Every structure is written in structure tokens, then in C-alpha cells.
Structure 1
Amino acid sequence: MVLMSNLFVALTALLHIGFLILEMFLWTGPTGRKVFRMSEGQAEATRILAANQGLYNGFLAAGLFWSLLNGDPVFALQLKLFFLVCVTIAAIYGAWSVKPRILLIQGGPAILALVLTLLAS
């Protein structure tokens, strides 16, 4: 159970690294515009906001990786729970405010990791 929990925590972290790259570096290019269905003008107008959002996704990923690398099992569990709850709340808000699909894409792996982490603890 611990292995599955850690795999889903790692998957969630890797997804957030992907979100960072997409929002900070690919936003105005063809990939970013295609994923978010934006025109060049829309992408350019929101570039700074997206980069800020990408940075926050990077912080979430860093916290999740920290939880996997921390040698203190009690503190590592606290880190996992904190950052997985943060990702889940962000996904719920994103689903409510932007697009319901965000709950599945961003929240799905985090919620599964959270459940597995709770079951493993």
C-alpha cells in the first residue's frame, strides 16, 4: 500500500511539473494554445498570469517530492497530506471556476494518492 501511495504521490508531482512547463514555457506556443484552446492574442494577453500559475504548480510538485524524499516518516506523512490536500483544493476550485474536467485531470491522481496515503498510514 505504501508503494502504491508513493507512486501516486510521484505521479501527482510529475503532473504538476508538466503543468509548470506548459504554463510557464509553452503557453504562447502551439502546444499551449491547443491545450487551452486559445488564440495567439488570448495566449499573449494571459502569458504572465499563466506563468504565475505554473510557478505555483511547481511549488506543489516540490512539496510532493520533498514528502517522498524526507527521511522522517511522520513528517513525510504530514507533508504528503498537506500538499495532496492543497492540490485537491486547487482542483476543486479549478473545476468550479474554469472547467469541470480539471477535477479529473489535476484532482484525480491527487485524490487517489491522498486516499492511498491515508490507508497506508
Structure 2
Amino acid sequence: MKLLAEILIGVVAIEHIYILWLEMFAWTTRGRKTFRSFPPDLFEPTKSLAANQGLYNGFLAAGLIWSLLIEDSAWRINVAYFFLGCVIVAGIFGALTAQRSIFFVQALPAILALLAVFFA
């Protein structure tokens, strides 16, 4: 179960590295294809806002990766709980305020990872 928890944490971290890249570096190119419901004329004017969001996603990924590198088991679990909790809250908030699919793409994988950490 510990290995499953680590794999799921890694998946959530990789997802947030992808979101970082998308929002910070590919907002006006790949972002247009990914966020089809966003008005096309707003990609360029919101480029710096998206980059800021991407940076926050990078912090989430860094925290999740950090949790995988901590040797002390109590600290490792607590750090994983904290960053997975942040991802879950962000995913739920995004689902309620922006697009329902954010729950399934962002919050659900983090919930599964959190449960795996809990039961490991």
C-alpha cells in the first residue's frame, strides 16, 4: 500500500508539473486547445495571471515531491497530507467556481492518494 501511495503522490505531482508548464509557458498555444471553454480573445491578456496560477501549481508539485523524499515517516505522512489537502481544496474550489471537470482531474486523484497514504 505504501508503494501505491507513493505512485499516486507522484502522479498528482506530475499532473501539477504539467499544469505549471501549461499555465506558465504554453498558455497562449497549448492552453487554447486545453481550455476550449475559455474565450479565445482572453488568452493573451490573461497570460501573466495564468503564469501566476502555474507557479502555485509548481509549489504544490514541489511539496508533493518533497514528501516522497523525507526519511522520517511521521514527517513524510504529514507533509503528504498537507499538500494533498491543498490540491483537494483547490480542486473542489475550481469545480465549484470554474468547471466541474476540475474535481475529477485534480481533486479526485489527490483524494485517492490521500486515502492510500492513510491506509499505508
User: TM tier, shorter chain?
Assistant: over 0.9
| TM-score relative to the length of structure 1 | 0.95
Q: Which amino acid aligns with 1:4?
A: L
What is the match of residue 115 of structure 1?
Answer: 115
Please list every run of 5 or more consecutive structure 1 residues that lacks an aligned counterpart in the other structure: none
Please list every run of 5 or more consecutive structure 2 residues that lacks an aligned counterpart in the other structure: none
* Aligned residue runs from structure 1 range 67-86, under 5 A: 67-86=67-86
What is the match of residue 11 of structure 1?
Answer: 11
Aligned residue for 2:71, secondary structure, equals: coil
Q: Which amino acid aligns with 1:57?
A: N
What is the match of residue 56 of structure 2?
Answer: 56
Cα distance, 1:108 vs. partner? Answer: 1.5
Cα distance, 1:14 vs. partner? Answer: 0.3
Cα deviations by residue, 1:64-115 (Å, 9 ceiling, x for unpaired): 0000011111101100000000000000000000000000001121010001
What is the match of residue 41 of structure 1?
Answer: 41
RMSD, matched Cα: 0.9
Identical counterparts, % of pairs:
49
Aligned residue for 2:28, secondary structure, equals: coil
Aligned residue for 1:44, secondary structure, equals: coil
What is the match of residue 32 of structure 1?
Answer: 31
Aligned residue-pair number: 119
Aligned residue for 1:6, secondary structure, equals: helix
C-alpha separation in 1, matches of 2:39 and 2:63: 33
C-alpha separation in 1, matches of 2:89 and 2:32: 25
Aligned residue for 1:28, secondary structure, equals: coil
| TM-score relative to the length of structure 2 | 0.96
C-alpha separation in 2, matches of 1:67 and 1:28: 32
